Structure 1
């Protein structure tokens, strides 16, 4: 791969030669005191460009006819300087002491940052390139306050979970995604290198324009567009590197395992199985066998260009990632074309489109990881004949290497996402825009299990093949009219619009056994036994339609006083006829105090703005047909005197035509401050976010014989504070910046309607005991169980302390919380929350003489993890060294019980299995070097940079598992680690960025 990249790069270097007549312009760039190194210098209207050297000097060959040069530098005002026949152009740059004119993308438009009344954060393209990943969500981690991003797993191609300002629903709490105007339910397909910027909309003033889909926040992604004028620009970026598991579990070795198994035997009245545990030594380390060092690479090629009437951006990217678990992998090819054109001075059209093809090897990671965790370390991986070792002899656990070897699960996915628009100006102050978007995806999966025999517990007597084909299409048509005008010191702009969206998806599946061979060329259903054929068909991804009317008005008086009023009315097929339409208004106010005549903060206090908002938004992510009754068919039976086949059906779920939106009412108050000529920027937001009508299956009497209907039964609050602090400084050849963000969050269920006012969820361990409780005063997904109070040390304690059932010396002792002298279910309590109290991110960069260093830290504190894999019945499985702290005589341990196979010690949800989820991680560290301008010009380059990057290099965590970011899916499974989640990787890559 590296050799091919070098050949590819050399080829484009030779192609990019200039044939036009050239003029050389040189000069020096300073800030009045020191020379500025690394200033970007470009010939406006062309692709020629360079950067200043260590002495602030530059020399640039520009095509004849070039009229002006552009100078840009971090922390300084951009300068456009007319050449006017000169060959020597010296520039004096001044620091950008004002950031209020930054343009921010908001819902259905753009606004200057100074005019915003809502809580909106922006991340630009450069900040997204610190981490080599195919997933935009993982690239955003730690960049924005109020935004929590949790990798779904460390598997190749894995996505991420997004949470904005906490969790306000029992269902899908993901935000709404808008990509170049197209409303989507995910952004896993986006190549981060194609992104120009991301706007994160957090409060009601910013999100109410999205109405019933804005309650969980909104992410607006704008991809890179073309540039007008010039001959175009070619950019190449590539990296390659390796991955390895970032952390391993501390499991028992063979000697420790045999010692504990002997104790289990003794405590059960059996003879010890191992005469000399010490002779067994370390034994087999299954983690060493299942994990590998794996490659990762990416190549990006892009072309930009255009003329006076428009531009284009064409890019292609190939990403490849093999897994640290052998047999898993992900490859993706992305092609994107964005183009725009002015047909008339008043008429514009454009297209934003992308095509994505990906293929994946989906290893049975959960089974492999559980096998490596449980398989005894005494068994050899393979015997002398090469057969897989039988790990079921001692622990009834499968051999993880066999699970790895016999797995065949491959998928291919195709996706096209795009939007085309037309804009027309009319009546001087009005603009009409029509945007049509389409998202179409198709997937195919082939899963095969061959005939094999490892043990009685790990075998497959008849091979079987299963195929699934699916598709989903989603179209959106939006029409808006914008108005913008100034009346002296008054500025008014607004929009009204109507939108339609429709989504449908379907899947077809089939299976057969006794395929004629196991070679991939034979894996077709037609080569299987027709008598074993199975099939299935159903809805894929949900079917719904939405009709919406929206409007917004912005008022600005002299840049000082700001008002934003917005509203949206949504009608959705996801809800019953009684509550099909909802109305979602908001209002936001702002005051730029530092623009008042009385303001005199001096250099110390540069700017100050306060803003506040209040509004209502909704959540329509409730699943398919939740308001209708469901019937389970196919319950056929033969009975009667003639033994005839009778067609049977039964009611599966009750209907609820009164199902309505989950509504979120949010109040936000923000303060924006700048100090020391805005080198230090501080933003603080206080928010109170209450969601009412949360949907859940309300308990009903068992005699009804149907699944509980979904009802609006609960109210939840998320309160918190967001803090952003950023500092930047430039001193001649040296510049640096550092920023930090913190989110303090409190999540609490305010009420639950219905009988008992509570429900239980989150199956735990092998016993299936519910480990989370929903009740007033608890956080969503709060862990629920008994508090550990020690270990029964002797007969006196057995007679003194209350017991949970029949217990013996060495058993865990649980706290009698209500003091009634018994330990019963009434003594269970809140053991912790999976939702962190504090989320932080720290990002910084240092630049000197062409060398740059960038870093990013992420962390979270105040949440707990339920380590469910430790709570499985011992069953002579292997375990962690956690079990070495055990009772084997009075005084030996007051935290770990005696070694047993079953009972309250291993099946009871208790604080014994609760661990801290606190961590801080060096998410990224990148060291780069940019070639001096005089050298890059000789090879006809605008820029050439090489770098080395590290991801997840260091993690300080209190949790004993692979990764403290645990989210297996569902709000009531969050934070429960059952040992099946693919570990995250430590990644080191080497890369280059070049432009011509």
Structure 2
């Protein structure tokens, strides 16, 4: 009965939606609940003023939580398809990293105080972040335990709340925005031309022969080959093709069109929007096809938010969102094509043979041009529908400030893949002794063209891309002020959130939450919140396991004290703190059940026949439970000098327990894999700063500046690791995710240096024969060997730092803004086909960084070890040589805009016209060398530099 009576965690939804839609107005000791449009007009520059509470109908100064928001005016400055991409550099403590620039996949990885936050849209946890920017009112980060208290078992990692726009009473407003942009790749790898490639590979072969006289000399190029590559005299037999230039365009378009209408009267308020976005890819196409083989992303969406006052005491709302998106790519897929760039040198083969067929050979059987033009295409169609309904009844006749509210939300997504891919046949040219030329296929096709239309994707255990979510909530609340001194605010919520992913059984979270705050004379605030909720993927009688998550908070509005109010230059000054427990539900899909999977069929007699067998899967964990986080936050917020200068300082200390990890002390003797268990403990701590200054308009000129920074430390408190012979090998006590490797000490300069390695306390990996030019490593335990006992923590020692700066000014009708973002104490690992030479059995790509390799004539100035063929167990092992510092600062966004004088706008019957130009990823300064981008440095689809032009007209 308990799981029937407990609806799901409504605590979040109502608190969040209401915090951006309603506010409390006090009048003669009574409370009036009303739509507060002033919240949307708060200047985002005064960061301490945008701390929206999670509570329902609680003024920002009447909460102890730590939040920060960014608004529409800032979001729309960046022409991106994913709203998370517009948050970069704007919110303290929220770290974003873009890992690809591929159209349709250009989202970012979020980290809030070291953890991955949950994303909420209008208070409901949802997966859809590829949405319209024009229809978003604000994006708020909920950082501490109080801000996410009513999330309970989903609040441990913090949250990012996306609040969509609602209509307001007033004259109907119509706004049309048209934007057109072109994109250019921010950074591409720099492969060697054919002559340098052949020269360096010969050098690598010579290096290998010094150690192994039986090494394959067939990898060498002859002097005649080198001459032909240098002179370009034989483009068929000795090609020199820059595949990036051959396959990729220098730029690609991005267009967005958005139309929205809003308004309302005493009864109805509405906001509606339609939008189309088209983002083209960088791949060239050919007129040999009647279809498009380029990577592109196209999306149509519609949003309609309608709120109605049915009677004086009853209001309701219907909020609907729908989108249709189409992604296209070549048949081999864009990811495969970019991987081919990393494995195909410039001299691999000629693009076309004399007879017009694609060139190739037995080593390189897939022609890159053929993959781009003639491998068919694949498409993905996705449809998303969100429908939210609510009805609210005020009960002022029972007691002023009392209300009840019921909400229902439905989400449906469908992903459909169309595969029209086909094999690409490359042909190798053969010249006989008589001079006859013939062509034979380098690769015999293993299959015919694929023609499938499947509802498939990456979600669900069965791979089906169907998703449904049903959300129900019921809430009641009471807010009231007595004698202009005692403010009470109470909310009790119950909710149920059920998600069906593909063919999986529904995953349901349900529970009750409550929140109460008391404020005395607007000076002293006491706040309590709790959530009692859980999910259904556990081994219990009813499969639900619940937890209790309480949070306590205190705050002091110092600015309201008499001794501060005498200081006219102090506008706000608030000290707040909270402490509590939140949870993270991560049970996996019925992991308490022992599974048995199909295994290789045994043979009996001479035929396999119908024999079958089963193999035990990963061990079950019947004791699994939710992860927990005990979180403390203290915050100081202030604004002074008539709200010109504002700042917020936060300190947090979060201790996570019952983290799901695999035992480090497991053994392979049982012949099976151990499950994840709730045994890990981690700690995160840090500080966040927000500082802003805005100069009110003085004549025709005004300006603003805001800065934010986050400093984060972490520590592994317990990891169940095996006993280590040396303290420096212990993972416990180190940073979460700490890298371990060898400490490089440069290159061996000559044979004498190699011979004296042991007495100098350095060496090479055990079993490897050192040569001059090899990387030497510190012998940490002084045993004369370099092995796993010499691997130590490497990388930055200080806190991980993220920061941003938003600067701007306005002069008459002209305005300009700049957004910078950056990171410090940030390292990346350079490895594999995108950085090392001659991988893939010696036939892989080589790059400009290898020109700085160690040679007998380039010792002291060498920036790269001696060249080798294939994998080098010493030089290419994980070490400080490859784990590089990548601190950076990036001009993330710049916008220049001009608003036409009103008289000219009215001349064409418009209320305003704004012309603007903006750019994204315009300039980067980084400590990472070689022209690599600090975010996408591994040869994947590059981040785009975008130049955008647009116009907004309002009627």
TM normalised by structure 1 equals 0.80
User: Which residue is 1:180 aligned to?
Assistant: 122
2:358 is paired with a residue of what secondary structure? coil
User: Which residue is 1:680 aligned to?
Assistant: 645
User: Residue 891 and residue 279 in structure 1: after superposition, are their counterparts in 2 closer, same or farther (change >3 A)?
Assistant: same
Of 221, 228, 248 in structure 2, the residue corresponding to residue 273 of structure 1 is 221
Distance 1:918 1:903 in 2: 28
Distance 2:319 2:630 in 1: 34
TM normalised by structure 2 equals 0.83
Higher deviation after alignment, 107-116 or 890-899: 890-899
Kindly state the Cα deviation for residue 860 of structure 1 after the two structures are TM-superposed: 0.8
C-alpha RMSD of the superposition: 3.0
Distance 1:128 1:838 in 2: 23
Kindly state the Cα deviation for residue 862 of structure 1 after the two structures are TM-superposed: 0.6
User: Which residue is 1:203 aligned to?
Assistant: 144
Distance 1:161 1:757 in 2: 37
Distance 1:757 1:503 in 2: 44
Kindly state the Cα deviation for residue 716 of structure 1 after the two structures are TM-superposed: 1.2
User: Residue 178 and residue 803 in structure 1: after superposition, are their counterparts in 2 closer, same or farther (change >3 A)?
Assistant: closer
Q: Does 1:119 align with 2:87?
A: no
Contact 1:392 1:398 in 2 (8 A): no
Of 424, 427, 434 in structure 2, the residue corresponding to residue 452 of structure 1 is 424
Q: Does 1:296 align with 2:254?
A: yes
Distance 2:283 2:45 in 1: 51
Q: Does 1:468 align with 2:451?
A: no
User: Which residue is 1:350 aligned to?
Assistant: 317
Distance 2:607 2:245 in 1: 64
Of 403, 406, 410 in structure 2, the residue corresponding to residue 438 of structure 1 is 410
- 1:81-101 Cα deviation digits (max 9, x unpaired): xxxxxxxxxxxxxxx99998x
Higher deviation after alignment, 910-919 or 376-385: 376-385
Contact 1:786 1:909 in 2 (8 A): yes
Of 358, 371, 385 in structure 2, the residue corresponding to residue 388 of structure 1 is 358
User: Residue 452 and residue 158 in structure 1: after superposition, are their counterparts in 2 closer, same or farther (change >3 A)?
Assistant: closer
User: Residue 389 and residue 798 in structure 1: after superposition, are their counterparts in 2 closer, same or farther (change >3 A)?
Assistant: same
Kindly state the Cα deviation for residue 635 of structure 1 after the two structures are TM-superposed: 4.8
Contact 2:688 2:709 in 1 (8 A): yes
**1:302-701 maps to which residues of 2 (within 5 A)?**
302-326=260-284, 327-363=294-330, 364-378=333-347, 379-390=349-360, 393=363, 396=364, 398-405=366-373, 406=375, 408-426=377-395, 427-428=398-399, 429-454=401-426, 460-463=445-448, 464-469=450-455, 470-488=465-483, 489-506=485-502, 539=504, 543-577=506-540, 580-599=545-564, 602-633=567-598, 635-639=600-604, 645-699=610-664, 700-701=666-667
Contact 1:362 1:410 in 2 (8 A): yes
- 1:193-252 Cα deviation digits (max 9, x unpaired): 11011221000011111011111111222111112243x221101101111111222322
1:205 is paired with a residue of what secondary structure? coil
**1:696-845 maps to which residues of 2 (within 5 A)?**
696-699=661-664, 700-729=666-695, 730-753=697-720, 755-756=722-723, 775-801=731-757, 802-804=763-765, 805-810=767-772, 811-832=774-795, 837-845=800-808
Greater percentage in strand: 1
**What runs of 5+ residues in structure 1 fail to find an aligned partner?**
1-69, 77-95, 507-537, 759-771, 968-976
User: Residue 403 and residue 459 in structure 1: after superposition, are their counterparts in 2 closer, same or farther (change >3 A)?
Assistant: farther
Distance 1:484 1:105 in 2: 17
User: Which residue is 1:768 aligned to?
Assistant: none
- 1:871-914 Cα deviation digits (max 9, x unpaired): 47531322222212223227625653322214324542222211
Distance 1:773 1:990 in 2: 54
1:598 is paired with a residue of what secondary structure? helix
Distance 2:46 2:743 in 1: 55
**What runs of 5+ residues in structure 2 fail to find an aligned partner?**
1-36, 210-216, 233-239, 285-293, 428-440, 456-464, 758-762
Kindly state the Cα deviation for residue 155 of structure 1 after the two structures are TM-superposed: 0.7
Kindly state the Cα deviation for residue 439 of structure 1 after the two structures are TM-superposed: 0.9
Kindly state the Cα deviation for residue 950 of structure 1 after the two structures are TM-superposed: 1.1
Contact 2:47 2:692 in 1 (8 A): no
Distance 2:730 2:361 in 1: 40
Q: Does 1:149 align with 2:108?
A: no
Contact 2:154 2:583 in 1 (8 A): yes
1:324 is paired with a residue of what secondary structure? coil
User: Which residue is 2:901 aligned to?
Assistant: 932
Kindly state the Cα deviation for residue 640 of structure 1 after the two structures are TM-superposed: 5.8
Contact 1:779 1:833 in 2 (8 A): no
User: Which residue is 1:139 aligned to?
Assistant: 86
Contact 2:370 2:424 in 1 (8 A): no
User: Which residue is 2:430 aligned to?
Assistant: none
Higher deviation after alignment, 364-373 or 707-716: 364-373
Q: Does 1:987 align with 2:949?
A: no
Higher deviation after alignment, 146-155 or 372-381: 372-381
Kindly state the Cα deviation for residue 133 of structure 1 after the two structures are TM-superposed: 1.0
Kindly state the Cα deviation for residue 923 of structure 1 after the two structures are TM-superposed: 0.9
Contact 1:785 1:828 in 2 (8 A): yes
Distance 1:640 1:72 in 2: 79
User: Residue 774 and residue 191 in structure 1: after superposition, are their counterparts in 2 closer, same or farther (change >3 A)?
Assistant: farther
Distance 2:498 2:546 in 1: 16
Contact 1:786 1:910 in 2 (8 A): yes
Distance 1:961 1:622 in 2: 43
- 1:459-491 Cα deviation digits (max 9, x unpaired): 633123454313110111011101111112010
Distance 2:864 2:934 in 1: 26
Kindly state the Cα deviation for residue 654 of structure 1 after the two structures are TM-superposed: 1.1
Kindly state the Cα deviation for residue 580 of structure 1 after the two structures are TM-superposed: 1.6
Distance 1:458 1:747 in 2: 52
Distance 1:422 1:72 in 2: 22
User: Residue 150 and residue 838 in structure 1: after superposition, are their counterparts in 2 closer, same or farther (change >3 A)?
Assistant: same
1:452 is paired with a residue of what secondary structure? coil
Distance 1:641 1:74 in 2: 81
User: Which residue is 1:883 aligned to?
Assistant: 850
Distance 1:668 1:643 in 2: 65
Contact 2:598 2:614 in 1 (8 A): yes
User: Which residue is 1:970 aligned to?
Assistant: none
User: Which residue is 1:285 aligned to?
Assistant: 242
User: Residue 120 and residue 71 in structure 1: after superposition, are their counterparts in 2 closer, same or farther (change >3 A)?
Assistant: closer
**1:77-88 maps to which residues of 2 (within 5 A)?**
none
Q: How many equivalent residue pairs? A: 842
Contact 1:340 1:351 in 2 (8 A): yes
Distance 1:581 1:963 in 2: 48
2:590 is paired with a residue of what secondary structure? coil
Contact 1:812 1:897 in 2 (8 A): yes
